[in-house]
Amino acid sequence: MSHPLTLTSLPLFPLGTVLFPSGVLALRVFEVRYLDMVRKCQHAGAPFGVVALTAGQEVRRAGAPDEQFHDIGTLAAIEQLQTPQPGLITLRCRGTERFHITRKSHLPHGLWVADVEQLPGDPPVPVPDDLQRTASALARVLATLQQRETGARPHPRPTPEQLRDCGWVANRWCELLPVPLELKQRLMALDNPLVRLELVGDVLERTGIAL
């Protein structure tokens, strides 16, 4: 039986969003605690952890209580880093593996770090026939979004292999759906990609979105 890979002193970035594996996250970083963190991660080629807030705000305020956040998050790998002006960094990150926090601590300058265990990635599960419409609808939505995008780096079109994979289709829908943060967190934390896609299909059917 294989043991989960562990990481010690992983820097954390608590946010009001849920990062899914293979998802893209754009950030504007200006707090000192995170400016230092992302520079070190970029220099070392190391990820940081994104965790969804349960209490508190993304931006630290004087006298505010410590942030509280979920114990399951996603590693974020920095793909692009720019410094448009002093004291500001813009990032483009991509979600990789999920993790579970086993111990966390708050450093004096405000940064959270944690010891974590990586969770297994989604096994490849083909989209079943009764959920094919979720994949077809996702392809249409992504194509529409791509047509509206401007700039030098439009979102790449999904591959046929991605659109046949339960985990990938479910995760992209989870990013797009206007559902509460808590529901997105629960969906991300599910280990079974087929169950995740079935629940996404239920949401789409109830709301009539795209189907």
Q: What is the pLDDT of residue 147?
A: 78
Query: Is it the case that residue 1 has pLDDT exceeding 50?
Result: no
Predicted pLDDT at 6: 74
Which DSSP state fits 7?
Answer: E
pLDDT tens profile 39-52: 999 999 999 999 99
Identify the band that residue 74 occupies on the pLDDT scale cut at 50, 70 and 90.
Answer: very high
pTM over 0.85: yes
Strand ranges for 6-164 from DSSP E: 6-15, 24-29, 48-55, 68-69, 72-85, 88-106, 112-118
- The 10 Å CB-count burial string (b at 16+, else e) for 109-137 is eebbbbebeebeebeebebeeebeebbeb
Q: What is the dihedral of CA 64, 110, 48, 150, to 10 degrees?
A: 60
Percentage of the chain exceeding pLDDT 70? 93
DSSP H or E stretch at residue 63: none
Q: Is the pLDDT of residue 59 over 50?
A: yes
pLDDT of residue 155: 63
CATH topology of domain 129-207: LON domain-like fold (1.10.4060)
Q: Would the pLDDT of 167 be above 60?
A: yes
Q: Which CATH superfamily includes the segment(s) 6-118?
A: LON domain-like (2.30.130.40)
Give pLDDT tens digits for 118-146.
Answer: 999 999 999 999 999 999 999 999 988 87
Domain ranges within the chain, ordered by starting residue:
6-118, 129-207
Question: Could you give the 3-state DSSP secondary structure of residue 136?
Answer: helix
